[in-house]
Amino acid sequence: MPNMEKSLLPEIVHRRSGRAFSDTPVSDDDVRLILEAGRLAPSCANTQAWDFVVIRSREVLEQAHEALSRGNAWAKNAPLMIVVATREDGGCGAHGLPYHMMDVGLAVENMLLQAVHVGLMGHPTAGWNEERLKTTLGIPEEYRVVTVVFFGHPADPATLDEETKAKEYAPKSRRDLSEIAHWDRW
C-alpha cells in the first residue's frame, strides 16, 4: 500500500461530514472563496447547471431549519447554509443522462474541499423537505433542490447528543479499491 497521506491532497484526506459546528460566523472572504470554488467547477458543455442560495441571516436560517429532517437537527448549529439547486432541463443532454446532477456534484465537492482549505467543515445533506425549503426561500418552481450544504468551524463533538455523537465517531468506511477499480477490462 503506498503512503496515501503523502500523495493525496490534504483537503481530500481531512474532509469529513462532521456534525459538530461552533457558532463562530464564517467570514465574508471564506464565503466568497467557497462560492468561487463552486463556480470554477467543470460542467458538461460548460452548462454550469447550478444555483446557490447562500444563507447566513439568523432569521432565514431558523426558517429554513423548519424543513430539516429530525436526523439532521445537528445542522441547526451551522452558521452558513448553501442550498444548491438545478433545473432538470438544465445541463447537457448527452446519452440521455442527467448531467446537471454531475455538474452540481462537482461544484459541491469543490466547495467542500475549499472549505477544508480555509479551516472550515462542510456537510452535504439530502434530509429535508424540498417543497418547504423552496417556499421558504422563494426558489422557482422549475428548480429542484439537490443538496443543502452546511458550513462552519468544527467544534468539539462531545457537545453532541449520544445518537449524533455515535455517528460522528464512526470510522470512515469506503469500498475497497479492489472492488471498484477494474483494470484494463471489467
Q: Mapping DSSP to helix (H, G, I), strand (E, B) and coil, where does residue 94 land?
A: helix
Choice between 97 and 126, CB closer to ligand FMN: 126
Q: Which of 35, 106, 117, 124 binds ligand FMN (CB under 6 A)?
A: 124
13 C-beta neighbours (distance < 10 Å), count? 11
Can you tell me the distance from the alpha carbon of 100 to that of 86, in angstroms, rounded to the nearest whole number? 7
Q: Which of 77, 125, 129, 159 binds ligand FMN (CB under 6 A)?
A: 125
Among 6, 70, 172, 182, the residue binding ligand FMN under the rule CB under 6 A is: 172
- Give, in order, the Cα–Cα distances in Å from 27 to each of 79, 115, 119, 150, 153: 10, 12, 11, 14, 11
Interaction pattern, residues 51-90, with ligand FMN; x per rule: CB under 6 A: ---------------------x------------------
If the CB atoms of residues 119 and 184 are measured against ligand FMN, the closer one turns out to be: 119
Strand partners, 85: 51, 145
Residue 14 has phi, psi (to 5 degrees) of -90, -10
Stretch that binds ligand FMN, among 37-45, 55-63, 78-86, 121-129 (CB under 6 A): 121-129
Residue with smaller CB distance to ligand FMN, 25 or 127:
127
- Cα of first residue to Cα of last residue in the chain, in angstroms, is 22
Residue nearer to ligand FMN on the CB measure, 45 or 66: 66
The total of other beta-carbon atoms located within 10 Å of residue 157's CB is: 15
The residues of the shown chain that bind ligand FMN, judged by CB under 6 A, are 16-17, 72, 124-127, 147, 172
